[in-house]
Structure 1
Amino acid sequence: MNRLVLLSGWGIDARIWRPLEAHWPADLEVTTPDWPGYGARPGLDDPDDLAALAAAMAGDLSADAVWAGWSLGGLLAAALLDHLPAPRALVLLGMGPRFCTEGGIPPQELAAFRRAFARDGEATRQHFLRWQLQGEPAPRAAHRRLIDLIGREPGPEAATLAAGLERLATLDVSARLDAPPCPVHRIAGERDPLLAPALRASAEQRLAGAGHCPMLSRPDALAACLTRIARAPAPTAECPS
């Protein structure tokens, strides 16, 4: 049985993956664990501690699976390669080796976002939920689908979200990805507003008609792409456009 673990991003729990459920083949075992502090999972005593994060996720991130992390989830999954046995393959969805890049999200924009978060965390999170969808073909419809999935209730505790923002600001996995312990695949929506154009262009797989959240706009294509990688995790795996 091929195994695939899906990891969500900043401010959004594992329910984001539900649109893909109808598209998985029978030979693929898919799990969607929440990060500590998300969903019903208790947060860490120290949300900034990567070693503690690895210990908490060890039972979910097995070496016989493909790990697919979206946005911050991809950055964290790559960082955990230094703490856990390597998976069969790693998939970075909508993420490069760092969050802030030239031509993408500049550091000063993230710094302004963090200041806004410190003033009103939940309002800032809700703004981000809408803002990240601007690259989808129908942003308002995508936002309605997102709210249908995750509801309008407050998100994770402020400490968990603040730690995630700190990692977005400081975590750089370039060295690990330059010498990875497993195959690494990058998938990007061709209209992802969070990625610099050069990063979108360099992704091995680009999903047409999608932005940062292809699970909302192109669940069929994203599921097909991840299935190909999970069945044969090789750098040459190709996905439908």
Structure 2
Amino acid sequence: MSRLVLLSGWGCDARIWQALDGHWPPGVRVSAPDWPGYGPRPEACDPASLDALAAAMAAALPADAVWVGWSLGGLLAEALLDHLPPPRALVVIGMGPRFCHPDGVGGEELATFRRAFRRDPEATRAHFLRWQLRGEPSPRAAHRQLLARIGQASPASLTTLTAGLEQLARLDAGRRRGAAPCPVYRLAGEADPLLAPAVREAADWRLANAGHCPILSQPERLAALLAAVAATPASPPTAPETLP
């Protein structure tokens, strides 16, 4: 049986993956653990520490599965390849080797966001949830669906969210230069507003009619693609293409 572990991004807990329920083909086993500090999980002793994160997530990230990380979840999963036994493959959704890019979200833009978050965490997080959905075919519908899944209140502690923003600014998977211990595949929404055009174009798959959150806008196609990767994780994708 193919096994997938789904990891959410900044400001959203694992409930967002419920949008894929009912779209999985037979023979796929799916789990969606929360990161420490999200949902019911206690916060890590040091939320910014990758060592602490690896210790807390070790049981939830088995080596016999394909890990799937969305947004910050993808960046963290890729960083944990240095701390945990590697999975059969890793699929990173909506994230390049690092978050900041001069043609996407720049370092100064992220720094401004972090300052705003320190002043008013709830309003800034609410703004971000809307901002990341701008590339979906119907941003308002996607936002309603998102809030129906995770609610209005923040699903994570303030210190965990603050640490996540620091990780977005700091983590850089590009230093491996193709030396990852397992296949790493990248999937981008064709209209993802958080990714630079070059990062979208370099993705292994580009999903048409989707932005940063294909979990909400294209759940059926996303589930089918992830299930196919889980079935044959060692088979590299073909040249980048836009999936209809």
CA contact (8 A) 2:210 2:217 kept: yes
Q: Which secondary structure does the structure 1 equivalent of 2:236 belong to?
A: coil
Amino acid at match of 1:62: P
Compute the RMSD of aligned alpha carbons.
1.2
2:186 corresponds to which residue?
186
- Distance apart, 1:240 and its partner CA: 4.6
1:39 corresponds to which residue?
39
- Cα distance between partner residues in 2 of 1:219 and 1:176: 31
- Distance apart, 1:176 and its partner CA: 2.8
- Report percent identity of matched pairs: 64
Closer, same or farther in 2 for the Cα pair 1:86/1:184, shift >3 Å?
same
- Distance apart, 1:177 and its partner CA: 5.2
- Distance apart, 1:102 and its partner CA: 2.0
CA contact (8 A) 1:135 1:192 kept: yes
Amino acid at match of 1:235: P
- Cα distance between partner residues in 2 of 1:177 and 1:11: 29
Amino acid at match of 1:161: L
- Count how many residue pairs are aligned between Structure 1 and Structure 2: 241
CA contact (8 A) 1:228 1:239 kept: no
| Aligned ranges 1:1-241 → 2 under 5 Å | 1-176=1-176, 178-233=178-233, 234-236=235-237, 240-241=243-244
CA contact (8 A) 1:132 1:212 kept: yes
Ranges in structure 1 where 5+ consecutive residues have no aligned partner: none
Q: Which secondary structure does the structure 1 equivalent of 2:59 belong to?
A: coil
- Cα distance between partner residues in 2 of 1:193 and 1:181: 30
Amino acid at match of 2:188: A
- Cα distance between partner residues in 2 of 1:176 and 1:26: 35
Ranges in structure 2 where 5+ consecutive residues have no aligned partner: none
Q: Deviations over 1:34-77 (max 9, x none)?
A: 00000100011210111010010000100000001000000000
- Report the TM-score, using the length of structure 2 for normalisation: 0.96
- Distance apart, 1:235 and its partner CA: 1.4
- Distance apart, 1:19 and its partner CA: 1.1
CA contact (8 A) 1:70 1:94 kept: yes
- Cα distance between partner residues in 2 of 1:192 and 1:96: 12
Amino acid at match of 1:171: L
Q: Deviations over 1:129-158 (max 9, x none)?
A: 011000001101110000110111233111
- Distance apart, 1:236 and its partner CA: 2.1
- Cα distance between partner residues in 2 of 1:177 and 1:32: 29
- Cα distance between partner residues in 2 of 1:48 and 1:197: 29
- Report the TM-score, using the length of structure 1 for normalisation: 0.97
Amino acid at match of 1:89: A
Q: Which secondary structure does the structure 2 equivalent of 1:178 belong to?
A: coil
- Cα distance between partner residues in 2 of 1:162 and 1:82: 23
Q: Which secondary structure does the structure 2 equivalent of 1:228 belong to?
A: helix
After TM superposition, the structure 1 stretch with the greater mean CA deviation from structure 2, 193-202 or 151-160, is 151-160
Amino acid at match of 1:193: P
CA contact (8 A) 2:3 2:230 kept: yes
Q: Which secondary structure does the structure 1 equivalent of 2:45 belong to?
A: coil
